[in-house]
Amino acid sequence: MHTQTIHLHRQAPPKPIAGQPCNGCGVCCAAETCPLARLRFRQRLGPCPALEWQADAHLYRCGLARRPRHYWPGLPAWAEGLARRLTRRWIAAGSACDSQACIAL
């Protein structure tokens, strides 16, 4: 069994079981990067540089989807909406949790 230590905000929600709605716990992106992040950051292991803690909502969000121009320097303003939509589709934002990680605190 592969074990890995990840660090998350103490107010982050507990990870749901796979198949339940994503709650922004951040576990998946703290552990390893998704294909899009590997393309952008050339990094396979987490935490993903685009994983952003949202203090007001007490959850994590994908920065590449929230504010693409911050992570893609040179992206023109007119393309940001399109980049946001494509990123959300690519990372399957809003779909069920697909992480099989088991958490031990």
26 is a contact residue toward ligand SF4 (CB under 6 A): yes
Position 63: which residue type? G
* 36 vs 79, beta carbon nearer ligand SF4: 36
8 is a contact residue toward ligand SF4 (CB under 6 A): no
As given in the structure block, the two tokens for residue 54 are: 């949202």
HSE, side-chain direction, 13 A CA sphere, residue 58: 5
SS3 51: strand
Distance CA 7, CA 67 (A): 23
Q: How many other CB atoms are there within 10 angstroms of residue 8's CB atom?
A: 18
25 is a contact residue toward ligand SF4 (CB under 6 A): yes
Binding mask 57-86 for ligand SF4 (x = CB under 6 A): -----x-x----------------------
* Binding test (CB under 6 A) with ligand SF4, winner from 2, 3, 4, 15: 15
* 39 vs 81, beta carbon nearer ligand SF4: 39
| Residue 103 CB, nearest approach to ligand SF4 (Å) | 9
* Binding test (CB under 6 A) with ligand SF4, winner from 6, 9, 23, 88: 23
Distance CA 83, CA 74 (A): 12
